Amino acid sequence: MQDRFKALRTLNVRRYFAGQAVSMIGSMMQMVAQGWLVLRLSGSATALGSTVALQWLPLLVLGSWGGAIADRVDNRKLLMATSAISASLACGLGVMTTTGVVTVHWVQVFAVALGFVTPFEQPALKAFIYELAGPADVANAVALASMLPAVARLGGPAIAGALIGAVGIDWCFYANAASFLFVIVALASLRVQGLHERRSANREKGQVRAGLAYVWRTPLIRRPIAVMFVAGLLAYNFSTMMPNMAKFVFHVGAGKMAGAMAASAIGGLLGGLTAAGLRNTTFRTLSAASLGFGASLLAFSLAPNYPAWVALSFVIGISSSLFQVIHTTMLQRNTEPAMLGRVMALNGIGFMGTTPFGALLSGWLTAHISGRVPFSLGGSALMGCALFLWMGVTQGPTRRFVRRATPLPASVSSASTVG
């Protein structure tokens, strides 16, 4: 059991994770409050879907450039800057809600503004884990980091529900703004000399294209990223689309919706804890995780009543966490450190940058057919991905890539001069 938490022996990891845990709880509170505010103002599932889409659209457009920047700047300072901007935006939305001038369009404006922060923040967050833990403990650190969103899903909706009922939606936005201060303090207090240096890319033309060429030439990275594009588009909208199912399928309020999200979070914690003990991550394990996640989404879409829905939310929490940790660990282990920002950026585009299209599709399906359909579609797609990954077991190498201390191969480094 001790090995499951070995990355936490490092003081920098503990400080960083503590700050991120508080911030992610705040972000989850804002996500719940934002969704509920849009539904209250419009009563439209399509409006909710379009708001989510607008928030993630900038990542789709700018994600690759954000990854290139993460590979050549100080990620600690970059994350401090993005946290300060995000805090300001959350506070601004809170003020507009308090004064009563907020409309759906204003919520969407703030969603887009926050979306422009994401392409630079997310690759830096993922790549910085390597700098904190180093090559020896990065797999364990990735697994433990995956538990932070689960902690946020457990605490965030519950606190948001309580605040909405007691003092109003606006206080969820203020609380999120305050939570970013914990991130800034944690990053400022890190021992810089204890960070593991990652070979930074020089500022030159063609770095985005070099990253794409590197991914294409590396099957152990190419196939998982392709699967993440499918999962991000059709499966990982389940947390943002849960308000639709709560309101339009089971006809329950924010409190009961928060209960289902809390069940999912508990499952996510259990899934992350299980993943922290895994020693090997191959196409076989990722294929099994994809199959399990897909099956749980299909069952979720068929839940006959609210109690069954809550129980299946717990199952989805476990399966989605296992899938994400195994997937991210494969990328972290098999990517050259100098390419890590660009690889994680491309993965982030698949994970969150496809959300605009997935959210719009889910909103349309909910409005015109049923709130259950988006989940059944995502489950079916993931089961197809499991077959695609299994084909990689028999058609390509499955052994783990060994990190080299030597420079990148000429075929990769030369790509940085193209374009």
Q: What is the pLDDT of residue 20?
A: 92
Per-residue pLDDT of the chain (419 residues; tens, 9 = 90+): 556 777 888 889 899 999 999 999 999 899 889 988 998 888 776 787 788 778 877 877 777 777 778 777 888 999 999 999 999 999 999 999 999 999 999 999 999 999 899 888 888 888 888 888 877 777 778 778 877 877 777 778 778 888 888 888 999 999 999 999 999 999 999 988 888 776 555 555 667 777 778 888 877 888 888 888 888 888 877 666 677 777 777 777 766 777 787 788 788 888 877 776 666 667 788 888 889 999 999 998 888 888 888 888 899 888 988 888 888 888 877 787 777 778 877 888 887 767 667 777 777 777 778 778 888 888 898 998 888 888 765 554 444 443 443 334 433 333 333 22
Q: What is the pLDDT of residue 123?
A: 82
Q: What is the pLDDT of residue 412?
A: 38
Q: What is the pLDDT of residue 125?
A: 85
**Selection from 341, 361, 373, 411 nearest residue 233 by Cα:** 361
Range 28-31, long-range pairs (CB < 8 A, 24+ positions) = 28/149, 28/152, 28/153, 28/155, 28/156, 28/157, 28/160, 29/156, 29/157, 29/159, 29/160, 29/163, 29/172, 29/175, 29/176, 30/90, 30/93, 30/172, 30/173, 30/176, 31/156, 31/239, 31/240
Q: What is the pLDDT of residue 394?
A: 52
Give the CA distances from residue 160 to residues 84, 101, 165, 180, in Å, rounded to whole numbers and listed in that order: 22, 21, 8, 16
Q: What is the pLDDT of residue 40?
A: 87
Other beta carbons within 10 Å of 255 = 14
Q: What is the pLDDT of residue 399?
A: 42
Q: What is the pLDDT of residue 170?
A: 92
Q: What are the structural domains of the chain?
A: 2-193+203-417 (1.20.1250.20)
